[in-house]
A = this chain, B = another copy of it.
């Protein structure tokens, strides 16, 4: 997180230098000065332009060094090739926060990359924090402040925004519905979302945070910052570059690949972020969080102009995990008098038959109020008609809905309508921030579901988060096992490593010769499995290097010589270091437990279906360690294969704690041993109420 004083200088400076600002003015002039003046910024402005003179009534300084104070913030407005020189002026002047607008650095050619590197070096030497390059900078609507060189429609809304593209900056009025404070980090070479979301989360004027993220370089720090923010405020994230083609496009946009999407997805989930699929969903959710401070539960009342729309609304609720409220008897009795005897007075409530006898507005008011008073209703979805022109609209209930909803501020009321005059309804209904309008019932239900998710699932969970504590650690052994090694760890080292961390492994031992093998097998107990140990053999089964289900000493002797003979024939000269003799386990459920290092987030744990199913079902869940026990449990339960662990068809259930302990141990192992770049237990066998690893692949960096 940026120090408070730096964040203030960046987003609410008392003085600003616009270095290299154009002297042109008017339409299409791209003058940051003109935009800033138009916004009514109250701080001291110092335009710097080599021509000097006056621009829009402000004295223009020919050099930043002439400016009579050290400004809180400098914005370098010049094109790429002039930037370094002007940045040096900033350093010489002692400016500590600089925004660089120009494109063509990491997002450009070889020369641009070198230039950006030089900028970063100068910044480091002079203690300067940089936003950009390739950014429009800041909007702070509470400070009449904005660094854009292009004017734009800019409604104020209590939303904190970070983004990595001008599209989002200029489009935030549409994509996020408005702006409170916005930070565009552009190429994100220094100041990033991680530095600012904590400040946005703590700003009492803001109700929700919107993140547009294309790439990230500091996954771990980001997760800390995001968890912190999500515990304070809803954080909505729109991650782009989520497909290979998008990621490729991102690399030419900001010079960075955007990372593996499913890892981001896991990280966002862990942090309690609300990930959205597109900007429309972001705007919809933001609107809900700006309008409603909470929601008591997920039981929804539906008031509809028609039965057909009631069906749509019910579908939408279920689809997004909401429940159809069951109104109290008292509520229904109170409303039944409105309906003809043949009509159904229930939830969803098709109020048209009532309206035909008692007037549309009257019925709408009474039904809505009865639902809002009902202790068994937590929120209401209203559907009305917008099919008449405003002048002729004898069914207009926008004022009625607003008025009634306003009396029950703890119960969200969202509205949708049918018919082309919906923009009138949207405007009318939202004018005092009491209710939220959505184009479809599906979008209305999705917004309520996000409210429920944030207030009842995320907020508590993120706050509750505790690191997993393990009873049993032997990292000393692990360090000895790994010392001085690279590449693939031998099978026996790999199994020992697991054991050092308390991960159960099918009983095993290494034997140098048949004598040792026989002794081992006796100790372990038949049946056993035998596997060759060799640094040269990658696919053991291809050369006959695995023998399963050996039932007695005679079979072991036969198998031993047969195996050596086959290997000698199929891979002559392979160095052989004896065999592993392992307990042969009964059949069970094959699981996968593993970890890979991600360039953004570091170690990423994987759990899911193992064996042949790993690739086919893709039934894998990911998490970034460390995990709480609860997170580990969620990680396991997210997979389909986990349902099989609960016992079925006479198969004994596997104690979930055994698996949680395995995850915890693996988490410890990879966090303590950074030399491990990849580890896979496949299969980890669940059988007879137990789990045990049969095999492990460990790759060292």
Residues of A within 8 A of B (CB): 27-28, 79-80, 103-104, 107-109, 111-112, 150-153, 155, 163-168, 170-171, 173-175, 212, 214, 240-246, 248-250, 252-254, 258, 277-280, 304-312, 314-319, 324, 340-344, 346, 348, 350, 352-353, 356, 383, 385-389, 392, 394, 417-423, 439-443, 541, 612, 615-617, 640-641, 643-644, 648-651
Contacts and interface: CB of A to CB of B under 8 A. Distances in A.
B418 A167 contact: yes
A252 to B, nearest CB: 4
Contacts of A442: 277-280
A440 B389 CA distance: 27
B109 A342 contact: yes
A420 B315 contact: no
Contacts of A153: 387-389, 419-421
Contacts of A168: 308, 418
Contacts of A440: 278-280
A536 B153 CA distance: 77
Copies of this chain present in the complex amount to 2
Q: Which 10 A-B pairs have the closest CB atoms?
A: A165-B308, A171-B418, A253-B307, A108-B342, A246-B315, A152-B387, A243-B318, A173-B420, A278-B442, A170-B387
A174 B641 CA distance: 44
B385 A171 contact: yes
A314 B344 CA distance: 49
Nearest to A302: B249
Contact of A344 (B252, B280, B389): B252
A151 to B, nearest CB: 6
A318 B277 contact: no
A650 B542 CA distance: 10
A493 to B, nearest CB: 25
B249 A314 contact: yes
20 contacts: A108-B342, A153-B387, A170-B385, A170-B387, A171-B417, A174-B419, A212-B308, A214-B308, A245-B317, A246-B311, A249-B314, A252-B344, A253-B307, A253-B310, A253-B350, A278-B441, A280-B442, A612-B644, A612-B649, A616-B643
Contacts of A344: 252
A108 B350 CA distance: 12
A342 B167 contact: no
Given A318-B244, A392-B27, A306 B387 contact: no
Given A165-B307, A278-B440, 9 more contacts: A150-B387, A150-B388, A163-B308, A167-B309, A167-B418, A174-B422, A245-B315, A278-B316, A279-B442
